Amino acid sequence: MKKHILYYLSFALVLASCSDEFTEKPAIGALSDESLANAKGVELLLIGAYSALDGNTIGGNEIWGGANGWVNESITDNAHKGSTDSDNTDAYNLEVFNWTASNPNLLGSWKSLYSGANRANAVIDLISKVEGDYSAELAESRFLRGYFYYNLQIRFGNIPYISEVEFAATEFNQPNPGPVWDAIEADFQYAMDNLPPTQSAKGKPNTYVAHAFMAKAKIQQKKYAEALSLLEAVIGSGEYSLLAELKDNFNSSGENGSESVFAIQFFADSGQSFNGAGADTLNFPQGGPFGSCCGFYTPTQDLANAYKTDANGLPLLDTYNQSDIANDQGLDDSDAFTPEAGNLDPRIDYTIGRRGIDYNGWGVHPGQSWQRPSASDIGGPYLPKKNVYQAGDDGMRGTGAWGEQRSGINWHAVRYADVLLLAAEAAVETGDLEKARGYVNQVRERAMNMTWVKDAAGNNAANYVIGLYTAPWTDAAVARKAVRMERRLELGMEGHRLTDLRRYGNMADVMAAYIENEARTISTFKAKMGTYKSNYELFPIPQNAIDLSGGILTQNPGY
C-alpha cells in the first residue's frame, strides 16, 4: 500500500430550502469562503489540485484524454487504439485521422486540463486572501497550473489563458489569440525559485522538477541552449539516477525511486481507484493470465521493428522497417509460430507483449487468445507491458466488476531517462554531438546491464544484442536520428511520442511511411486509415467550447 496518498477531493453542494436564511447561510454540505480562509482550506484546495493530475475530474469522456496520454500515442506510429474497431469509435476516429472538432475525447482532454488549471487558480487566489506564510503551497500551486497549461499548450496550441485574477472575477470566457508559453514559463520560473531541492512527501514537485518542466517548455519552442542548461541542472543535482532495472520503473519496488522525477501517485484500494485515467482500466489483455479486459492500447508492428539491432547492437536507424519481425497476426494459439530469431534490443520485451515470450512474469504469452482485436481490426498482434502490473505486484491490483483492472502503480510524467534524452536532443541542436552521445550511452548502458527477459529454462528469451555508440559522433544529422530513435526505444508506450513527433516537425512523413509499413502486417490497415494533414499538428479547439464562448474562442486553422 502507498504511504502517501493524494485523494480525489470533491465538494458536495446541497440546495438549501427557500427561506430568508438562504441568502445568509451557506447551504448544508457546502463550504463557505470563510470556512476555507485558513490553513486547512488551503490544504484542501491544494489536494484538489493535485487530484486533477489523474485526469478524472468531472466524469465522462475526459478519462480518454487523461494523465498518460495513451490515446494521443495511438495517433502515432507507436500504438494502436486496440480492442475492436467498433469499441470507442471516438478514439478510433482519432487513430485513423478522421478528426473533427466535435470528438468527445478531445473535449474530455480540454475539460480535464482546464479543471486542473482552475483548481490551481483556486489555491493561488485563496492564498492571496488569507494571513500566514503559504509560500510553499503557492509554489506548488503555480507549478501545477504550469503543468496543466503546458499540457493544454502542446495538445491544442492556441488556448485561452485564465489566471487567478480572471478566476476570482469568474471571467472564464477568455479569447485564444495564440500560445501562452510566457505564462507557462512564469509559473515554472516561480516554482524553480521557490520550491525546495527535496520534498519529504512523495509526489510533490521540487525545484528540479520545475527545472525539468521549464526545459520541456523551452525545447518545445526550440530554445535548445536554454533547455540544455536547465536539464543539466537536474542531471548535476545528484538527486536522480537510472534504476538498475528498467522494469522497476513500472512496478511497486521502483516507485518514487531514483529515476522518478515527477510521477502521478496512485494507490491500491481494492479496485476503487483509476490509474492515470479511467480509460487505463481497459489497457490489459483480453482474458489473459488474470481474467482482465479489454485489449486497448496495443503496440504497433512499426515499434516492434524499431528494436532490431545490427551486429554491434546498434539500432537500424534507416532500415529497421524494410522487413518485419516475426508476429502471429491472424494465427490461432494452436498454429505453429516461432518468435523472431534476429538481433533485438532487450527493451522490446519490457515494452511489447509478444507471443512465445514471458509476459511480465505471468507466463509465456500464448497468442491470439489474449488479444482482443481480430485479424480484421487494426489493433495488431501485440500487447502492452509497461502499464500492466507485473506478477508479484498483486497488492497494487484492483479489479472491477467486468474485468477492468485498476492498477495502483504510479505513472511517470518525467523519469530520469527522459531528462537524459532531452538533454541529448538539446546537445545535438546546439552542436555538442559528443555530449549527446554520452547521454544516449548512459541510457543504453542500463539496457545492456539490466536483467533480460528469460525463457522457462533460464536462457535469454530472444537473441538480445545491444551495444554503445563507441565511434565519435561527427555528423549532426546522424546524431539527431540516433537520439530520436533512442527516445522511441526507451520511452515507447509511455505517452511521449506524439509530442516528440510534433516537435521534430516530420510527423507527416513518418506517418505516411508508417501506414505503408503497418499494412504489411494488418491487411485492412491502409484502407481504414485516412491521411495525416498539416493542421493535425494541433488538435482542434473543441466545438462545444467554441459554442459556449459565444464566438470569443476561434478555431485552429484547417478545421
Confidence of residue 44 (pLDDT cuts 50, 70, 90): very high
What average pLDDT is seen over the chain? 90
Rounded CA separation 250/263 (Å): 11
DSSP 542: P
| Closest residue by Cα to residue 91 from 297, 277, 287, 278 | 297
Domain that holds residue 234: 20-271+410-549
Asked if the structure places residue 255 within a domain, the reply is yes
First to last CA, the chain: 46
* 465-498 pLDDT, tens digit each: 999 999 999 999 999 999 999 999 999 999 999 9
Contact 409, 255 (CB under 8 A): yes
SS3 content of the chain, % helix, strand, coil (to 5): 45, 5, 50
φ, ψ for residue 433, nearest 5 deg: -65, -35
SS3 category, 543: helix
Asked if the model's pLDDT at residue 413 lies above 50, the reply is yes
| Closest residue by Cα to residue 48 from 6, 14, 12 | 6
Per-residue pLDDT at 11: 29
Rounded CA separation 383/385 (Å): 7
- Rounded to the nearest angstrom, the gap between the alpha carbon of residue 266 and the centroid of all alpha carbons in its chain is 14
Rounded CA separation 108/106 (Å): 5
Three-state SS letters, 357-397 = CECCCCCECCCHHHCCCCCCCCCCCCEECCCCCCCCCHHHC
* 249-297 pLDDT, tens digit each: 999 999 999 999 999 988 766 555 555 446 678 899 999 999 899 999 9
Asked if the structure places residue 8 within a domain, the reply is no
CATH number at residue 227: 1.25.40.390
* 284-293 pLDDT, tens digit each: 999 999 989 9
State the chain's maximal CA–CA distance in angstroms: 83
Rounded CA separation 534/154 (Å): 15
Asked if the structure places residue 344 within a domain, the reply is no
Confidence of residue 408 (pLDDT cuts 50, 70, 90): confident
φ, ψ for residue 359, nearest 5 deg: -110, 90
E strands, 123-221, are: none
Residue 135 vs residues 44, 166, 200, 386: alpha-carbon distances, Å: 16, 21, 16, 37
Q: For the chain, what percent of residues have pLDDT higher than 90?
A: 81
Per-residue pLDDT at 178: 95
* 294-348 pLDDT, tens digit each: 999 999 999 999 999 999 999 999 999 999 999 999 999 999 999 999 999 999 9
> Kind of pairing, strands 296-299 and 79-82?
antiparallel
Other beta carbons within 10 Å of 292? 23
Which grid cell sits at 348?
522490446
Asked if the model's pLDDT at residue 19 lies above 70, the reply is no
Asked if the structure places residue 3 within a domain, the reply is no
Rounded CA separation 500/504 (Å): 6
Confidence of residue 54 (pLDDT cuts 50, 70, 90): confident
SS3 category, 277: coil
Asked if the structure places residue 533 within a domain, the reply is yes
Asked if the structure places residue 195 within a domain, the reply is yes
In DSSP notation, 409-453 reads: --EEEEEHHHHHHHHHHHHHHTT-HHHHHHHHHHHHHHHHHSPPP
- Rounded to the nearest angstrom, the gap between the alpha carbon of residue 116 and the centroid of all alpha carbons in its chain is 16
Confidence of residue 56 (pLDDT cuts 50, 70, 90): confident
* 367-407 pLDDT, tens digit each: 999 999 999 999 999 999 999 989 998 878 877 777 788 78
How many structural domains is the chain composed of?
1
DSSP 10: -
Residue corresponding to grid cell 494571513: 131
Rounded CA separation 263/253 (Å): 14
Q: Is the pTM of this model over 0.85?
A: yes
Other beta carbons within 10 Å of 437? 22
Per-residue pLDDT at 32: 67
φ, ψ for residue 352, nearest 5 deg: -125, 130
Asked if the model's pLDDT at residue 30 lies above 70, the reply is no
Per-residue pLDDT at 269: 65
Which grid cell sits at 515?
501506414
Contact 301, 80 (CB under 8 A): no
**What angle is formed at CA 205 by the lines to CA 202 and CA 208, rounded to 5 degrees?**
120
Asked if the structure places residue 305 within a domain, the reply is no
Asked if the structure places residue 310 within a domain, the reply is no
Per-residue pLDDT at 57: 65
Q: Which amino acid is at 435?
A: K
Residues in the chain: 559
Contact 83, 379 (CB under 8 A): yes
Contact 414, 264 (CB under 8 A): no
